[in-house]
Amino acid sequence: MDYFTLGYFGLFLVCFLAATVLPFSSELVLAGFLLIGYNPFWCLVVATTGNTLGGITNYGIGYLGKTKWLLRLGVSEVQLSKMESRIINHGYWFAFFSWVPIVGDPLVIGLGYFKTPFFKVLLLVFIGKFLRYLLLVYFFN
């Protein structure tokens, strides 16, 4: 699909999907939008919004998760207990790293699963993703 013909909606869609567990590279698409002359400010706003909402979708998936699903995947109750104690204390700070490839999405799913405070997660997901895209916009302008 040619996301460039969809304009800012295409950028939003790619950034949203890239924040889920689907293998998309929103950075490359954002760079493409900037290189063909799209407004850097609106690219930053659209990319950050789409990627943040995608990350929060991961939180929702985790929030709906069931312990029995994890047990079937081979996670032990001891492992769950250890993860829970780490995340409950200050785990919401992990949300800042939601932009990190491969580990970011599972981190946010875990934050949702352990019912980490939503607005703290939302704020830190937003800040992390905004700063990443801000650096890209700066670099490509």
- Count CB neighbours of 63 within 10 A: 16
Range of the domain at 80: 3-139
End-to-end C-alpha distance for the chain, whole angstroms: 26
The pTM (predicted TM-score) of the whole model is 0.89
From residue 94, how far is each of 62, 75, 86, 121 by CA, in Å? Answer: 14, 20, 11, 8
3-state SS of 54-95 is: HHHHHHHHHHCCCHHHHHHCCCCHHHHHHHHHHHHHHHHHHH
Q: pLDDT tens digits for 47-80?
A: 999 999 999 999 999 999 888 777 787 777 888 7
Q: pLDDT tens digits for 75-134?
A: 778 887 777 877 877 788 889 999 998 888 888 988 998 899 999 999 999 999 999 999
What is the tally of structural domains in the chain? Answer: 1
